[in-house]
Amino acid sequence: AGGMLGGQTISSPGAMLDRTAVPSISIELKPTSGRSEGDAEEEGGADTKDKTAEQAMAETEMAMKQLEQQQRETENTQFEETETEIRQAIDAAPDLKELAKNLLIDKTPEGLRIQVIDREGKPMFKAGSATMMDRTAKLVAQIAVAVKDLPNKVKIAGHTDSTPFRSKKKGYGNWDLSSDRAQVSRRVLIEGGLDPERIAAVEGRASRDPLLPDDTASPRNRRISILLLRKPPPKDAKAAATAGSAGTAKPGQGKGQGTAPLPQKLNKDWTGPRVQ
């Protein structure tokens, strides 16, 4: 009864496998912060590059300041030597000694200013004219000798007092007179050895910049100003270093190695008044 197995089935203990079921696989994922290790490495590298760039910029700025300071010290040394040389030349020339009081030399933010001024009884030009006195020409020529070897550009300005100028030429006034005197001074400087390419400007200022603001009619306001312009600050460290090595001496190694040279004579082919 019940067949050969008597109602019993042949099977191994345990649950039967369902061959029609679709197998499933579970994978446990670790939570992340949204950044990969590669991202972190890239950010760290960027931070390092930024710090390196900032450091390089700071070092460049510091080098620029040092170069600018060195340039200023060198110029001041050269300016002092130039002033000493001019004054020694005046003392060494009997016909120029009396003009020592007609000479004002000072350092300004723009550069070294050399002014040849009028005094009572000692005018630098003939009255109401751009004709330079012989003694003035000698003095200006000696200034040219003293500054001709410096690299600085030169600005020349003529000045008058505030007294209205009356001329036979219609419309000719203090503006014209101061301009003409500046041009005459330019020519004497060139004849004395100054390179024309170094002249940056020549202008007449009439009575606009009085030497004595409280006494604008004083003859001392009538003057010629010769300004040795300071060189512009370096634009970058490389350019500054190149310029410094090419045309700028170190402090104490200027025109006279710290001591002004003996007064020089003018070139023998100069056609104007000679400096003895």
Q: What is the Cα–Cα distance from 124 to 223, expressed in whole angstroms?
A: 8
Tens of pLDDT, residues 184-216 = 999 999 999 999 999 999 999 999 999 999 999
- What is the pTM (predicted TM-score) of this model? 0.66
As a whole number, mean pLDDT of residues 171-196 equals: 96
Residue 144, domain CATH: 3.30.1330.60
* Residue 67 domain-assigned (yes or no): no
Residue 232 lies in a domain: yes
What are the DSSP E strand ranges found in the chain? 103-107, 111-117, 154-159, 199-204, 223-229
Between 76 and 20, residue with greater pLDDT = 76
Q: How far apart are CA 8 and CA 187, in angstroms?
A: 138
pLDDT tens track for 69-117: 888 888 889 899 999 999 998 988 888 888 888 999 999 999 999 999 9
Residue type, 13: P
Please report, for residues 85, 135, 155, 226, the alpha-carbon distance to residue 220 in angstroms, rounded to integers and kept in the order given: 24, 17, 20, 16
Beta carbons within 8 Å of 195's beta carbon, 6+ residues apart: 148
Beta pairing, strands 223-229 & 154-159? antiparallel
**How far is residue 75's CA from residue 56's CA, in Å, rounded to a whole number?**
28
pLDDT at res. 220: 94
Domain membership of residue 131 (yes or no) is: yes
Does residue 45 lie within any of the structural domains?
no
Q: How many domains does the chain have?
A: 1
Least-confidence region, from 94-98, 160-164, 197-201, 250-254: 250-254
Give the Cβ contact number of residue 100 at 10 Å.
Answer: 11
Domain containing residue 85 = 78-247
Between CA 119 and CA 116 the distance in angstroms is: 10
